[in-house]
Amino acid sequence: MIVGRRETWTARVLLVLLMAVTLMPFISLFVTALHPSGSYPSGLEWPRDPQWGNFVKAFQAARMIELIKSSVLIVLGVVPLSLLLGTLAGFAIGHLRMAGRNLVFLVFVLGLTLPFEGIITPLYYQVRDMGLLNTRWAIILPLIGLFMPFGVFWMRAHFVNVPDALSESARMDGANVWQLFWRIHVPLAMPALSSLAILLFLWTWNQFLLAIVLVDDPLKRTMSGALGAFQGQWGTDMPLLCAGSLLILTPTLVIFLIFQRRFVTALLQGSLKG
Amino acid sequence: MTRKKGSPARAAGLRTPSWVAWLFVAPALIVYAVFVLRPIVLTIQYSLYRWDGIGPSTWAGLGNYAKVFTDPDLFASILNAIKLILFFSVIPVLLGLAIASTIRRIAASRLALVARTVLFLPQVIPLVAAGIAWSWLLSSTGLVNQLLRLAGLGGVARAWLGDFSTALPAVGVIGAWVLLGLCTILLLSGLSKIDPALYEAARMDGAGPLREFVSITVPSLRQEIGVCVTVTVIAALASFDIVYVSTQGGPGNATMVPGLEIYYLAFSERQVGMASALAVVLMVLVLLVALPIQWLTKDRSS
């Protein structure tokens, strides 16, 4: 194929420009974070005397260690259980194909587009009546429920494509469904499971609405919810707010950069399937 | 758990009795029913009452719904969400299409590989962080105004999120920033599946770039465009995080969206019935938009 040189250059310039626009907010956060705390920097301007200490200050002000611990606890509560429940259901609907599967699948799929705001009010009263308000369970349990449509949808899509013959031969060897599921199907589903795990991790870590409504104490929230509180507290101190925001988005950024290829694939597949 | 039967294996059921399969579905279904289905039903129920969340409730019939569509403030929040579609959806998808088809030729280069990572950053970070970063960029002393002054356009510089006439578009710009990268990469990955021979054939027939775009690119990307539109329209209609952080619905009610209005009504103004009616309207609105797009863009050939 003949590729025009000029076209290639236009493409490169466009791509670099697009990346610059994408990175601009991060750069602005970073540069502003280095200005003296309490000052009003203007635009993008490298400070005469970079205040690296702002990051330490924000780290302490935001109580980052406790925040990370809280977010990790919530992720550990949500992700493994969601994976397990989603896989069990996806396996039954996609592979065992029992009677009534289409109906139950439809019920799950209808929840795919549900905006969380739609059910937040009754969820608040329900969680309160369960005595879970202001605990991490108030975020964990509803999130598992809210992730079921996508989890089941995703895992069914995997299991539908698993050949029946695989189960047939295991059955010949005398395995029951439970063994069949754990010994054959779960190991084979690992790629689908790990992509799902990445997406669920991201959506849990960044969950904001449930955190601010159901948990008052920022230290029991997700990172995202804590950032909301941090903004309320330090909103007038621009450099410190910028330093805090950067710190709070660092964990996701680090994990993203480590697993970037998986992330991009997972997000692409995730949005294509969803 | 399962009995061995003498009968030959049924291909479909794999010899697993239905009730066993239902046991596999049950845990997911129970959690989903308790934390999603029940709240949906309750939202509908609440929406028919007047309730302050504490005292006794009184039957309101469809009164709350009537108010959602007649109260100027409430209805304005729905209109705002629809206006946001222009920024969250139309701009990222159209711009994404234009960019993706321009960079199609260098999609395999190292630069494009780096770009894939960079353009995904907005998808990975919390929307709250995006909101904070952009509030600063768009503030009166922020980078956007600095650039405008450099370009000699100091006259239009303003606190973009604090000005009644520009606040909503400014919120829209934040959404466009978040979603443009996702759309571009999605469309680009769709483009890479198109057979290059199609383009060559079109060139032979004397088709220009525009003709190519309309007759090959857009139809081949039907599914990807559908995905982009669905994801972004839902993001616009159900926006919450960005607005909460950047404007809290203000100035006045200029950037109020249904998600935020529900939050205020339910948890500050104690109008649970009204909040629920708006919530039902929002859920229906999202379904009304998402279902036809799914149906329109479904690949019916396979």
Q: Does any domain span residue B198?
A: yes
Question: What is the average per-residue pLDDT within A171-197?
Answer: 89
In the stretch 172-191 of chain A, residues with CB closer than 8 A to chain B read 176-178, 181
Q: Does the pLDDT value for residue A178 go beyond 80?
A: yes
Instruction: Give Cα separations from A196 to A202, A273, B13, B119 (angstroms).
Output: 10, 12, 26, 21
Residue B133 pLDDT > 70 = yes
Tokens 């060139």 belong to residue: B203
By Cβ distance, the residue of B112, B200, B276 closest to A15 is B112
Cα–Cα distances in Å, from B28 out to A100, A104, B33?
15, 11, 8
The H or E element spanning position B49 is strand B49-50
User: What's the CA gap between A270 and B209, in Å, rounded?
Assistant: 31
Q: Closest chain B residue to A236 measured between Cα atoms?
A: B136
Q: Which residues from A are below 8 Å from B142, CB to CB?
A: 28, 43
Q: Is A260 an interface residue toward B (CB < 8 Å)?
A: yes
Q: Do A115 and B282 touch (CB under 8 A)?
A: yes
Residue B107: is its pLDDT beyond 80?
Answer: no
Mean pLDDT of chain A: 88
Residue with structure tokens 């990807």?
Answer: B224
B219-249 residue pLDDT tens = 888 888 988 999 999 999 999 999 999 999 9
B176 touching A (Cβ < 8 Å): no
- The answer as to whether B45 is a domain residue is no
- B195-to-B124, B136, B200, B216, B217 alpha-carbon distances in Å: 31, 44, 9, 10, 11
Mean pLDDT of A142-166: 92
The answer to whether position B3 is within a domain reads no
**A242–B124 C-beta distance less than 8 A:** no
Average pLDDT score over residue span A176-202: 90
Name which residue leads in pLDDT, A253 or A144: A144
- The least confident of B6-20, B32-46, B145-159, B279-293 is B6-20
Residue of A nearest to B40 (CA): A119
B172 lies in some domain? yes
End-to-end CA distance of chain A, in Å? 35
DSSP notation for A203-230? HHHT--HHHHHH---GGGS-HHHHHHHH
Q: Does A206 touch chain B (CB under 8 A)?
A: yes
Is B32 a member of any domain?
no
Could you tell me how many helices (H) and strands (E) chain A has, helices first? Answer: 14, 0
**pLDDT at A147 > cutoff 60:** yes
pLDDT given at position A3: 54
Range of the domain at B141: 63-297
For B96, the closest chain A residue by CA position comes to A18
**Cβ B259–A117 below 8 Å, yes or no?**
yes
Average pLDDT score over residue span B118-125? 89
Using the Cβ of A10 and the Cβ atoms of chain B, whether some distance falls under 8 Å is answered with yes
* Contact of A206 with A164, CB cutoff 8 Å: no
Q: What is the mean pLDDT of residues A111-135?
A: 94
Considering only residues A47 and B167, tell me which one the structure prediction assigns the higher pLDDT: B167
pLDDT digits 0-9 by tens, B265-284: 999 999 999 999 999 999 99
**What is the C-alpha to C-alpha distance for residues A71 and A67, in angstroms, rounded to an integer?**
6
Q: What is the pLDDT of residue B22?
A: 93
Count chain A–chain B contacts defined by CB atoms under 8 A.
316
Residue B245 domain flag: yes
Residue B275 touches chain A, beta carbons under 8 Å: yes
Mutate to test the interface with B, among A14, A96, A168 (most CBs of B within 10 A): A96
Residue A261 has pLDDT above 70, yes or no: yes
Non-local (6+) Cβ contacts of A102 within 8 A are none
Higher pLDDT: A87 or A253? It is: A87
pLDDT in tens, A16-61: 999 999 999 999 999 998 988 877 787 777 888 888 888 898 888 8
Going from the C-alpha of A119 to that of each of A109, A142, B41, the distances in angstroms are: 16, 10, 9
Give me the domains of chain A, ranges plus CATH numbers.
64-222+248-273 (1.10.3720.10)
Q: What is the pLDDT of residue B300?
A: 53
pLDDT for residue B12 is more than 80:
no
B residues 72..101 contacting A (CB < 8 A): 99
User: Which residue is closest to B242 within chain A, CA to CA?
Assistant: A208
Residue B120 — very low, low, confident or very high, per pLDDT cuts 50/70/90? confident
Residue B13 predicted with pLDDT over 50: no
Contact state of A116 with B29 under an 8 Å Cβ cutoff: no
pTM of the full predicted structure? Answer: 0.89
pLDDT of A12 > 90? The answer is no
Contact A96 B272 (CB under 8 A): no
For residue B25, list chain A residues with Cβ-Cβ distance below 8 A.
88-89, 92-93, 98, 104
pLDDT score for B168: 96
Nearest Cα of chain B lies from the Cα of A110 at a distance, in angstroms, of: 9
Instruction: Please answer yes or no on whether A28 and B133 come within 8 Å at the CB atom.
Output: yes
Look at residue B41 in the predicted model and tell me its pLDDT: 96
* A210 touches B: beta carbon within 8 Å: no
Among A60-74, A164-178, A259-273, B167-181, where is mean pLDDT lowest?
A: A259-273
Say which CATH number the domain at B188 has: 1.10.3720.10
- pLDDT in the model for residue B138: 92
pLDDT at A268 over 80: no
- On the question of pLDDT at B301 being above 80, the answer is no
| Segments of A71-169 assigned E as strands | none
> Which of A172-181, B32-41, B280-289 comes out lowest in average pLDDT?
A172-181
Q: Does residue B252 lie in a domain region?
A: yes
CB contact under 8 A, A121 and B46: yes
- What's phi and psi for A135, nearest 5 deg? -115, 165
pLDDT confidence of residue A185: 92
Residue B1 contacts A, CB cutoff 8 Å: yes
The one-letter amino acid at A178: W
| Percent of chain B residues past pLDDT 70, beyond the cut | 93
Number of domains within chain B: 1
Quote the minimal CA–CA distance from B63 to chain A in Å. Answer: 19
Asked if B25 and A242 come within 8 Å (Cβ–Cβ), the reply is no
Query: Do the beta carbons of residue A128 and residue A194 sit within 8 Å?
Result: no
Is residue B12 exposed (0-12), middle (13-18) or buried (19+ Cβ within 10 Å)? exposed
Give the Cα separation of B91 and A242 in Å (integer).
Answer: 28
Of A249-263, B10-24, B95-109, B186-200, minimum mean pLDDT range:
B10-24
- Extract the tokens encoding B254: 């200029």
Cβ-Cβ contacts under 8 Å for B261 (sequence gap 6 or more): B74, B77, B249, B275, B278
Instruction: Specify if B82 maps to a domain.
Output: yes
ipTM: 0.90
To the nearest whole percent, how much of chain B has pLDDT over 90?
54
Mean pLDDT for A255-267 is 81
Note whether B53 contacts A: Cβ–Cβ < 8 A: yes
Mark yes or no for CB contact A208/B126 under 8 Å.
Answer: yes
